[in-house]
Structure 1
Amino acid sequence: MSVWAVANQKGGVGKTTTAVALAGIASELREACLLIDLDPHASATSYLRARDGSGAEKLLTVGRADPCPTAVEGIMMLGANARLATLERQQGGTAGMGRRLGQALQPLRERYARIIIDTPPMLGGLLINALAAADAIVVPVQTDPLALNGLEGLLRTVEMMRNAGASVPEPILLPTLMDRRVRIAHETLAEIRERWGDKVFDGGVVPMDTRIREAARDGKPVTHCAPYRHASSTYEALYEHLLGHGAASEQAA
């Protein structure tokens, strides 16, 4: 009954790969898993070959939707399409819009052990809905200096929501797309750890690896593919961390 949002206000940092990997681990553990694609680009929907791209839109407009199967057994999905962008423009200023997803997820929490949300790479109502609904927030951060702007923006958004009275969990920063051959990647990783300290996941980094792209091409989570074990081990450690994070949050509550 955990809701995990994967978020960053920059594209190309590994959000969809991360969301699909976490869902893949849940499916391997035979935990009922729902992946919600809130990105109008529908990357997760395409990745997992989901046949219905209207689920997320229906959930936000009528408050309910029927998840559809994906190409990976055990992962159900509420898919995305370009109409989500139109929905955001039309309803962005509607009172209570930022809480709509959290309200709609209440009955789904009873059906799924893990609900994972892939978010759009920009500030707006869709991202705010995901952050407000989440029990944990994972922020993939590419180990590149230019990627830090998106991270800083996401952290400002979290702080803005807290100042407005929303209960938003502390983000967990996941270093991604690490090219160990490049000095600037090591320098950026060191800067991330120095600036954000215990917010940074210490169980590993996700490497730069063309085989991860091959997994996406094949419609498989990286955790389901033996050649991708280096990235898989990081995602498996992250999954365990999130389970412990959830247990600690429940005890604190």
Structure 2
Amino acid sequence: MLSEVASEKTTTPILAVANQKGGVGKTTTAINLATILAKEKKILLIDLDSQGNSSTALGIDYNDRKLGTYQFLINGEVKEGLIKKGIVHNLSLITADANLAGAELELIEFKKREFRLKKALSLIKDAYDLILIDCPPSLGILTLNALVAANGLIVPLQCEFLALEGISHLVKTVGHIQKSLNPNLEIKAIVLTMYDKRNKLSELVAEDTRSFFGKKVCETVIPRNVRISEAQSYGKPITLYDPKSSGALAYISLAEELLQRFC
């Protein structure tokens, strides 16, 4: 199935994994999808969050992150050592470090600052079958760069009512970007995360989300699973840490479902 999708694409899918609310499973979704999809195709994961959680969760030592997304954005060039080998074959990673936090201020002085990532990616995107961008938990200039560079958006949504309020702001932002900066941007999928089937609230949030967003909401839901948190502390995605856990099986199912949305 993956081969069929890749053969039909006319341009490299660039998918931003974004939600301005923190703690919704954004990084977890990004690293697990990247790892699963890399079993067959060349995947690049870009850690655009200055906290560097994707880099940590994929076992990249902090001392090995001196060259990463900060330099990629500011200098707009690909230096040796920028793209690092990931935890599995066919997975590459551009890491983040604390310097990336300063990029928010530095980019203010740049002309067309919203297009810095898009311009930089034009140098390397054809070398990959899919590019995933793990965005910061905000709608600042870094996330804006990701949304301008991307042709698709994956939105992890925690199953709680406050999360529904937050996603409405993101939808409005996407609308503005479509009109003025990137008409190709499209919400490909909303992923329900931290779903607890024992909790009536999770069920209600899922129902409300599906009622409002329809087919944009994935059928696969990601359960609340302690093994997912444990995996990241060991520098591994859940699919490698405990491949038989409910969290791993859910992400495998999600990856298969999302393939149909990448075209």
TM-score of the pair, normalised by structure 1 = 0.89
Q: 2-side partners of 1:95 and 1:107: how far apart?
A: 19
Pick from 118, 127, 131 the counterpart of residue 111 of structure 1. Answer: 127
Q: 1-side partners of 2:209 and 2:140: how far apart?
A: 25
Matched, 1:175 2:192: yes
Q: 2-side partners of 1:117 and 1:53: how far apart?
A: 19
| Counterpart contact for 2:148–2:181, Cα < 8 Å | no
Q: How far off is 1:239 after superposition?
A: 2.5
C-alpha RMSD over aligned residues: 1.8
Residue aligned with 1:28, SS: coil
Instruction: State the percentage of identical aligned residues.
Output: 35
TM-score of the pair, normalised by structure 2 = 0.86
Residue aligned with 1:137, SS: strand
Deviation sequence 1:17-50 (CA, Å, 0-9, x none): 0000011112222x22211100011111111122
Q: Which consecutive residues of structure 2, in runs of 5 or more, have no partner in the other structure?
A: 1-11
Q: Which consecutive residues of structure 1, in runs of 5 or more, have no partner in the other structure?
A: 248-253
Q: Which amino acid aligns with 2:58?
A: L
Pick from 54, 57, 63 the counterpart of residue 67 of structure 2. Answer: 54
Q: Could you say which residue in structure 2 is the equivalent of 1:3?
A: 14
Q: Which amino acid aligns with 1:141?
A: L
Q: How far off is 1:69 after superposition?
A: 2.3
Deviation sequence 1:103-143 (CA, Å, 0-9, x none): 21123112121211100010111101111111221100000
Give the stretch that moved more between structures: 165-174 or 218-227. Answer: 218-227
Q: How far off is 1:13 after superposition?
A: 0.3
Deviation sequence 1:131-181 (CA, Å, 0-9, x none): 111122110000011222321121111011123242211241100011111
Q: 2-side partners of 1:226 and 1:115: how far apart?
A: 25
| Counterpart contact for 1:71–1:219, Cα < 8 Å | no
Q: Could you say which residue in structure 2 is the equivalent of 1:194?
A: 211
Q: Could you say which residue in structure 1 is the equivalent of 2:98?
A: 82
Residue aligned with 2:186, SS: coil
Q: Could you say which residue in structure 2 is the equivalent of 1:91?
A: 107
Matched, 1:26 2:42: no
Residue aligned with 1:117, SS: strand
